Structure 1
């Protein structure tokens, strides 16, 4: 949730309208995105589902962290101008495009194993429902 929180906090601070708060939140958002960049992306370019203190706890690649990663890394790039965030967004989108999008049957897969092989035969589960697909 860190990469998701990084851009959502920025959105909230923008709406709140306090320039000092926004400055602080943007700085923290870049730090959060940096931590995800360093600890959450693997060689295939997708974000692992859960890691703690640099140790991967759940290496599956769920659909929503990939989508949030694209948004969060682009947000960090827009704030900081640091190219590696733009590259991370592009890499994460590449993972989505190659492994998550089901070109044969449509929609996005719920999750894939770390190697990109679908790990769930269902596209819809309790976290990925008509609300997200609608």
Structure 2
């Protein structure tokens, strides 16, 4: 398997910093207010949501080009929830894909389902966490 790119980041917990090896990402981490933190920094769930949304939107552009469908006005919002799971915690994801009006219905649903098969985040999470796809 040929590697296209490797991202490297280091963090020291939910209350600290996360820094990429090239220093382009350098963020303060704090638990959200809902979990007793100050909420003044970001948190792993927000970072995961941003990454998943960006990755899915990029995959949607690829699938759109392959299917000769214009999705340039589309956007993706990822909702990542931290939930209790057994003795620990798990994640639940909702992806809200906003498509142009002419792509609503079966065409849009098929496009989003095809994207879910291409997106690396979707492939990594499939079978591990629930992901709900919503076309808006």
**TM-score past 0.5 threshold:** no
Considering fraction of residues, name the structure with more strand.
Answer: 2
Considering fraction of residues, name the structure with more helix.
Answer: 1
- Normalised by the length of structure 1, the TM-score is 0.26
- Normalised by the length of structure 2, the TM-score is 0.26
Using CA pairs under 8 Å that are at least 6 residues apart, name the structure with larger relative contact order, 1 or 2: 1
Look at both structures and tell me which one has the larger radius of gyration over its CA atoms.
2
